[in-house]
Structure 1
Amino acid sequence: MNQLTSPQIFIYAALPCEAKPLVEHFNLKKDTTVQPFAVYLNQNICLTVSGLGKSAMAAGVAYTQALFASVENPVLVNIGIAGHKDHAIGNLFLIDKITDADSAKSYYPPLVFTPSCAKAGIQTVSRTLLNYDPHTLCDMEASAFYETAVRFSSAELIHCLKVISDNESSPAGNIQAKQVAELIAAHVATIETLLKELSRLAKLISGPEESVLFEQLLERYHFTVSEQGQLKNRLSRWTTLTNAPVPEFDKDRLPKAKDVLFWLDQQIGKLEFSL
């Protein structure tokens, strides 16, 4: 891996045909030193082709983010295709609700900006469905991507973009790799706009106030490595939503690290509810 490269933006695609137009548009070069996954880079963007399915996507995200563990507040975006009962092939959607069909868990990527495309919910399944859901899009990676990605960055910087590749009139069996590449290529301008907006947000939440408080809390409380990541994500989310310092709290009433995390969850929950 090129040690001089420190990308801020991480794109995850399941299939090579989904990645191809992005590799070309952003002039990404394959890193031949990385073996488990196909990884493409420039100075600001890293694109990983994970392979099809939830397990492959989760592994791809975890592996890539471990390679670039020093990157603060990375932007993580899953870009790929999805099916729907009657949405027109080629339509682009930013996902605002992700439901895992196996676990029934749902995730709600927070939108703190106005997207330049339509929004939709998506259901992630383990195998291709014979019958299309009339209410949500359907794919095979989004839930695994999101559930893994939130371990590495603030939720506001993690999103899924899906292009409709199949519907009831033209089912999944008709999908061709060339067609998928063309569908993604048609939206590279919108994708680039989204990435720029998320990069702007990432810079906003990387301010010195957050870093100082993070270090102060580490000195006072014992956070495990996992809890340190959770703490950083919560402080980043607060800053993104408010652009203000975290309010003072009674440290005597929060004796343990997990108490601090729970308190921060409560404060952020109040903000997101009011939004």
Structure 2
Amino acid sequence: MSLLLNAPVKTFLFFALACEAKPYVAHFGFKKSIGQTVFEIYQTHNMILTITGVGKSAMAAGVAYSLALFKNEQVAVIINVGIAGHKTAALGQLWIAEKITDADSAKRYYPQCLPKTTLASAPLVTVSQPQTVYAPDTLYDMEASAFYETATRFTSSELVLIAKVISDNQQSAVHNINAKQVSALLSQHLAAIAALLEQFNSRAQALTTRSIEAVEQISNALHFTVSEKNQLIKLLSRWHVLSSNAPLPLSAAALKSARMFLDELSALILQLPVAL
């Protein structure tokens, strides 16, 4: 049986800038990971915080490196916290990204099952250079598309979140931002981020419990390799969230192979409406 079935939830926090991460390192009691020279990495007993550097390439590399180094097949909650611009939103407001568009490639990503929160949400556009012209009702950053694309390779998309604090707008240009101001803006939302972490960890625990029960039942009827079993867990997690825990309309006994079961389950999930 996969190690994933008996593993606890591990939470990964990713920041582009040290000044963004600084309040969270102090608040959650992170300790610097000794011997890690590729990225600046901090740890608690169940959380990993990585400072990746600015831009899509740096973020993608930081996420992939950290997840490969620490995940060990544990269920992972993966969250990006950072700054973003917006045309009219007040400086310091905390927003949730509800859609991510990469301005260079035009790729779009749609986070599933946004958190239950009173926080505002908006589409986010990831750009390669600081943005000075803002479309209405849109967030702008320089990492989110790469973060989301990479993070969802390592965990279920329902356990990936992007939270952004407004650092610049039409009245306060991006070039006015300084490190001290960024730390101050992000420190205002320690409690809100902690609440989001708790909510996503609870979601992960619930998904894991339901997946364990379902996997054990299905595995009694079909033989799964370790890789197939991990894929099954991820697919079952998505089914449970998107279907609101509806019974799975598949019979393992009626299908001839694990591969066939995975293909049928994938097809069923594609037919479900996306829960936002």
Contact conserved, 2:255 with 2:261, CA < 8 A, in 1? Answer: no
Which residue in 1 is equivalent to 2:4?
Answer: none
| Counterpart for residue 237 of structure 2 | 236
Alignment partner of 1:209 out of 206, 210, 213: 213
User: CA-to-partner distance for each residue in 1:121-143, whole Å, 9 max, x for gaps?
Assistant: 10011122231222310001111
CA offset at residue 243 of structure 1?
3.2
Match of 1:38 in 2: 40
The answer for the alignment partner of 2:3 in structure 1 is none
Match of 2:273 in 1: 272
- 2:61 is the alignment partner of 1:59: yes
Contact 1:214–1:231 (8 Å) recurs in 2: no
1:109 to 108, 111, 122: 111
User: Runs of 5+ in structure 2 lacking a partner?
Assistant: 1-7
Q: Specify every segment of 5 or more residues in structure 1 that has no aligned partner in the other structure, as ranges.
A: 1-5
1:205-243 per-position Cα deviation (integer Å, ceiling 9, x unaligned): 1122244267569825x78x5x76544322221123333
From the superposition, tell whether residues 273 and 200 of structure 1 become closer, same or farther in structure 2 (CA, over 3 Å).
closer
Aligned pair partner of 2:176 in 143, 155, 174: 174
Task: Tell me the residue number matched to 1:132.
Answer: 134
**TM-score normalised by structure 2 residue count:** 0.86
The alignment covers a number of residue pairs equal to 266
Rounded to whole Å, the distance in 2 between the matches of 1:108 and 1:81 is 20
The letter for the 2-side match of 1:8 is K
TM-score for the superposition, normalised by structure 1:
0.87
- RMSD between superposed Cα atoms in Å: 2.5
* 1:154-169 matched pairs, under 5 angstroms: 154-169=156-171
Q: 1:232 to 1:114 in 2, by over 3 A?
A: same
> Quick one: distance in 2 between partners of 1:99 and 1:131?
16
Distance 1:197 1:139 in 2: 24
Deviation by residue 1:14-42 (Cα, 9 ceiling, x = unmatched): 00001001001101010022110011111
Find 1:48's aligned residue among 47, 50, 60: 50
Confirm whether residue 185 of structure 1 aligns to residue 187 of structure 2.
Answer: yes
Q: Are 2:223 and 2:257, in contact at CA under 8 Å, matched by a contact in 1?
A: no
**Percent same amino acid at aligned positions?**
45
The C-alpha deviation readout for 1:106-164, integer Å capped at 9, x for no partner, is: 11111264124111110011122231222310001111000000111111110000000
